C-alpha cells in the first residue's frame, strides 16, 4: 500500500486517527451536528492507481519541459505518493538538466504545525528520489511572507516514523488512544473515550499525555487504578513538580471513587456586585463581538450583553461595557474562566487607545475560577473545561450541542449571511456560559470556604 501525504498529515495529528480512518468502525464516527463532517475523509476516497500514474506523468512532462511554477503536482515512487501545491524551479542540476525543483505549500497559516512540516519533508523526500537531487528546504507561501523550512532537521524523525505508519496501514500493530484535549474536536472522540475508559487509560487524567504516560508505564503504573494506589515518593517523573505528581494521584483516586478531593481553602472577595463574564471573539473576522455578563446583586441576578454587530462597532461595545463597570464604583468582582477575558480587555484597551488605568482596575477585580480546580479541589472529570465541570455539577446548557467551536460557526452564519436565529443561539450559549460560571463559583464557595 502506498503511503500518501494525507497519511502523514493524519499520523502527526494523531496516530490513532490514521488507524481509525483506515480500519475504524464507520458507524462510530460522530460528526458534529453543526460543524458537520470535518476534513478527515475516509481512506476509501484515496485516488486510484491509474489516477496516480496518469497525474504523475503529467507533472513529470512539465518538469522535463522546465516549467515553473507547476501547480497541483502529483508525484509517486514505489512506496510513496503525494500531491504538492507548487513546484518551483531552482538552479541546481538534476536528472532534468541544469535545474531542479523545490516544493512549496500555499497556506496562509498563522502557526506552522508539525503536521505541515512533516508533510513538507515527506514531499521533499519523494521529489528528491525522482529528480535525484535533494533540496535542503521547502517553502510555505503565506499572504505576507514566505517561510523556508530546513528539511534535514526533521528527516530522521520522519524516516523512523514512516516504518510505524507502514505498520499501522498494514495492520501489523494496533494502537490505543491517548485521550487528550485534542480529542474534543475529533469525530472519533466518543469512540476513543470509550476505548480509554474500558482500559482505564492513564490519559483520562487531565494533564497526562503520551510522554508522561510512557514514563509512568515504565514504572509499572499502567492505568488509573494503579496510579490511584501509587505513593508520591514511588513516582519518578522528570521535570514534574511534586504538587503536580500529587494531583495526578488524587485525580486518579477521584476518578475511581467519583468523589472530590479538597486540597486547600480559598477566600473570595466580598463585594456588592458579582459579574460572571464570558467574552467571545471572532479570530476569523478579528474582533470581539460579545461581552456577556450575568450580574448578581443582593441575591438577584440578571443577564446583560454588549454586542458589536460589526467590526466598526467593537469600540462602541467595549466602551459601553466599561461605562457599565465603572458605574459599579469599584464594588464588584468579575469572575471568568481562564486567562482569555483579561487578555481581551487589555487588547481592546490598547487597540482603541483607551485609558488603561480603568481597564487595569477591571483586571485587578477579576477572579479566574479555572485554576482553583486541580490546585484547590479535584473532581471526577477528564478535562477541566467549564462545560465538563458545570455538567458534573448538574448544570445543563439549554442547547447541549452548542459549544465554543460551534458558537464561532453560529456567529459566522449571522455575520456572513445575516442569519438572526444563529445569533440568538450564540447569545443563548453565551448566557449559559455565564450561568455555568455562577454555579461553579457557588459550588466552590460551599466546598472551599470555611
Ligand atoms: S479522538 Fe483523540 S485519540 Fe481518538 S483519533 Fe481523535 S484525536 Fe486521536
The residue assigned the cell 508520591 is 232
Average pLDDT along the chain: 92
Ligand 1 closest atom vs CA 182: 7
pLDDT digits (tens, 9 = 90+) for 354-402: 888 889 999 999 999 999 999 999 999 999 999 999 999 999 988 766 6
Q: How far is the CA of 31 from the centre of ligand 1 (A)?
A: 13
**Domains of the chain by range and CATH?**
3-169 (no CATH), 200-259 (1.10.150.20), 264-450 (3.30.420.10)
**Ligand 1 proximity of 343 Cβ (cutoff 6 Å):** no
Whether the model pTM is above 0.85: no
Instruction: Identify which of 23, 115, 192 to mutate to test ligand 1's pocket (most ligand atoms within 8 A of the CB).
Output: 192
What is the average per-residue pLDDT within 74-83?
A: 96
Distance, CA of 288 to chain centre = 20
pLDDT digits (tens, 9 = 90+) for 305-326: 999 988 899 999 999 999 999 9
How close are the terminal C-alpha atoms of the chain, in Å? 64
Name the helix (H) or strand (E) containing 55: helix 49-65
List the alpha helices (DSSP H) in 96-219.
114-131, 152-169, 189-199, 210-217
- Contact criterion met (CB below 8 Å) for 101 and 67: no
Instruction: Identify which of 43, 177, 195 to mutate to test ligand 1's pocket (most ligand atoms within 8 A of the CB).
Output: 177
Nearest to 141 by CA among 223, 79, 71, 53: 71
Contacts of 306 by beta carbon, 8 Å cutoff, 6+ apart: 290, 291, 293, 317, 318, 320, 321, 324
**Ligand 1 proximity of 13 Cβ (cutoff 6 Å):** no
- Contact criterion met (CB below 8 Å) for 124 and 103: yes
Instruction: Identify which of 189, 191, 199 to mutate to test ligand 1's pocket (most ligand atoms within 8 A of the CB).
Output: 189
Q: Tell me what pLDDT residue 182 has.
A: 85
d(CA 29, CA 153): 36
Q: How far is the CA of 185 from the centre of ligand 1 (A)?
A: 9
Nearest to 141 by CA among 94, 88, 190: 88
Q: How far is the CA of 24 from the centre of ligand 1 (A)?
A: 11
Amino acid at each position: 500500500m502506498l503511503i500518501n501525504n494525507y497519511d502523514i498529515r493524519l499520523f502527526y495529528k494523531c496516530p490513532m486517527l490514521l488507524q481509525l480512518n483506515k480500519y475504524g468502525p464507520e458507524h462510530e464516527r460522530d460528526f458534529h451536528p453543526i460543524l458537520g463532517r470535518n476534513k478527515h475523509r475516509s481512506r476509501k476516497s484515496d485516488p486510484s492507481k491509474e489516477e496516480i500514474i496518469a497525474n504523475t506523468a503529467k507533472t513529470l512532462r512539465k518538469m522535463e519541459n522546465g516549467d515553473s511554477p507547476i501547480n497541483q503536482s502529483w508525484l509517486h515512487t514505489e512506496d510513496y505518493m503525494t500531491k504538492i501545491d507548487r513546484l518551483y524551479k531552482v538552479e541546481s542540476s538534476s536528472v532534468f538538466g541544469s535545474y531542479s525543483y523545490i516544493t512549496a505549500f500555499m497556506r496562509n497559516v498563522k502557526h506552522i504545525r508539525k503536521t505541515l512540516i512533516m508533510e513538507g519533508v515527506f514531499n521533499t523526500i519523494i521529489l528528491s528520489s525522482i529528480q535525484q537531487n535533494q533540496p535542503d528546504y521547502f517553502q510555505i507561501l503565506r499572504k505576507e511572507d514566505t517561510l523556508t523550512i530546513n528539511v534535514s532537521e526533521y528527516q530522521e524523525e520522519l524516516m523512523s516514523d514512516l516504518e510505524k505508519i507502514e505498520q499501522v496501514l498494514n495492520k501489523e500493530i494496533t494502537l490505543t488512544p491517548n485521550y487528550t484535549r485534542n480529542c474534543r474536536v475529533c469525530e472519533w472522540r466518543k469512540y476513543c473515550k470509550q476505548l480509554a475508559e474500558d482500559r482505564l487509560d492513564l490519559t483520562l487524567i487531565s494533564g497526562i499525555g503520551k510522554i508522561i504516560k510512557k514514563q509512568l508505564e515504565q514504572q509499572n503504573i499502567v492505568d488509573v487504578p494503579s496510579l490511584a494506589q501509587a505513593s508520591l515518593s514511588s513516582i519518578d517523573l522528570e521535570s514534574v513538580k511534586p504538587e503536580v505528581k500529587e494531583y495526578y494521584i488524587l485525580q486518579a483516586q477521584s476518578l475511581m471513587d467519583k468523589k472530590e478531593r479538597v486540597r486547600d481553602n480559598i477566600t473570595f472577595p466580598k463585594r456588592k456586585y458579582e459579574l460572571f463574564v464570558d467574552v467571545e471573539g471572532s479570530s476569523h473576522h478579528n474582533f470581539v463581538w460579545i461581552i456577556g455578563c450575568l450580574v448578581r446583586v443582593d441575591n438577584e441576578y440578571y443577564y446583560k450583553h454588549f454586542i458589536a454587530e460589526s467590526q466598526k462597532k467593537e469600540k462602541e461595545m467595549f466602551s459601553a461595557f466599561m461605562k457599565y463597570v465603572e458605574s459599579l464604583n469599584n464594588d464588584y468582582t468579575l469572575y471568568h474562566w481562564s486567562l482569555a477575558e483579561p487578555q481581551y480587555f487589555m487588547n481592546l484597551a490598547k487597540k482603541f487607545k483607551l485609558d488603561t488605568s480603568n481597564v487595569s482596575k477591571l483586571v485587578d477585580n477579576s477572579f479566574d475560577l479555572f485554576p482553583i480546580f486541580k490546585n484547590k479541589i479535584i473532581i471526577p472529570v477528564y478535562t477541566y473545561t467549564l462545560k465538563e465541570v458545570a455538567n458534573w455539577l448538574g448544570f445543563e446548557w439549554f442547547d447541549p450541542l452548542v459549544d465554543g467551536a460551534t458558537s464561532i460557526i453560529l456567529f459566522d452564519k449571522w455575520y456572513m449571511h445575516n442569519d438572526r436565529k444563529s445569533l440568538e443561539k450564540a447569545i443563548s450559549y453565551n448566557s449559559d456560559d455565564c450561568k455555568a460560571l455562577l454555579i461553579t463559583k457557588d459550588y466552590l464557595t460551599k466546598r472551599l470556604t470555611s
